[in-house]
Amino acid sequence: MESVKQRFCELSTLVAGVHQIFDQLCGDSGGYACLDEDTFYRAKLAAHEWAANLVQHASFDNRKPEVDVDVWPNGNKIECVFEDNSDGFDLDSILEQRSNGLSPLPERGMGLLMLSACTSELSYEKTEGGIYRLRFSVHSEADPWLNIPF
Amino acid sequence: MSFTVEPCNQETVIVRIGKALDFRNAAEFKSTCQTQVRSGARNFILDFSETGILDSTGLGSIFSLYRQVSPLEGQVVFAAVSRPVQVVVQLTRTYKVFRQFPSVEAAEEALL
């Protein structure tokens, strides 16, 4: 199956657009013919959390936002790439801080941890072209969980 | 996006979550629930039968509600949990905090 990709130049349309990409992926495969349902929803959740992070927190300085999203099934996993022209941030540091510092029943701060828990082969880097690229896979065999303090 | 609230009795309400509870409407959810708490509600049945996305901010707003009603000996329970929401419940292990029921009616019976 081919990938589903789309460019977004308005952040206000990003989240709904990402959902549409996954809906299209689901439709093209005749339901979940080549993907199990939970893997699909974990991938959609991970993509949603990243899109939400871009909408709520990313700095684009005075540039017009450009976000490219590419999603494709690959055997027993779903692969996803986000590329954007934001200023980026230190994802590893934030993840480490959040991992060690969540309050009991937290109201905020779970998003990137949920993204990390759902995914494997998660990478975030600045390319030679100056754009930031998040790439991740969601595997059907994975047993993800997030240790929220209760 | 908006939420439908149906009273069961003076202390218990059903909140129909609808298509999504996420960063776009979590503040509205909190405000809706706070209004209900001020009116005397302390038990909340969250109907997730139509819900396609529950994200971290949406879950955080439910935690906020739980912290609000717990001192009142109130409860927050999940009903008719859709598969996308169940994925979040398992990922975050929130089944340890929120009881789940197969239907709103089953939740009503347990709380009334």
Q: What would the pLDDT profile of A96-106 be if each residue is shown by its tens digit?
A: 998 888 889 99
- Pair of tokens at residue A1: 């199956």
Confidence of residue A148 (pLDDT cuts 50, 70, 90): confident
Question: What does the pLDDT look like over A69-80, one tens digit per residue?
Answer: 999 999 889 999
- Pair of tokens at residue B92: 């975050």
- A37 interfaces chain B, CB cutoff of 8 Å: yes
Instruction: Tell me what the mean pLDDT of segment A93-98 comes to.
Output: 92
**How far does Cα B61 stand from its chain's mean position?**
9
- pLDDT at position A31, please? 54
- pLDDT at position B2, please? 78
**What secondary structure letter does DSSP report for A102?**
P
- pLDDT at position B72, please? 96
CA distance A97 to chain B (A): 17
DSSP B9-52: SSSEEEEE--SEESTTTHHHHHHHHHHHHHTT--EEEEE-TT-S
Interface test with B, best of A42, A95, A110, A115 (most B CBs within 10 A): A110
How many beta-carbon pairs below 8 A join chains A and B? 75
**Separation between Cα atoms, residue A148 and residue A68, nearest integer Å:** 31
CA distance A110 to chain B (A): 6
**Separation between Cα atoms, residue A95 and residue A112, nearest integer Å:** 7
Q: What is the Cβ-side half-sphere exposure of residue A44, based on CA atoms within 13 angstroms?
A: 26
Query: Could you tell me where the beta strands, DSSP code E, fall in chain A?
Result: 4-8, 67-74, 77-84, 120-126, 132-139
From chain A, the residues in CB contact with B64 under 8 A are 107
Question: What does the pLDDT look like over B22-81, one tens digit per residue?
Answer: 999 999 999 999 999 999 999 999 999 999 999 999 999 999 999 999 999 999 999 999
ipTM of this complex > 0.90? yes
Instruction: Tell me what the mean pLDDT of segment A127-139 comes to.
Output: 96
Confidence of residue A15 (pLDDT cuts 50, 70, 90): very high
Is the entire prediction scored with pTM above 0.90? yes
Query: Which residue among A41, A105, A114 places its CB closest to the CB of B56?
Result: A114
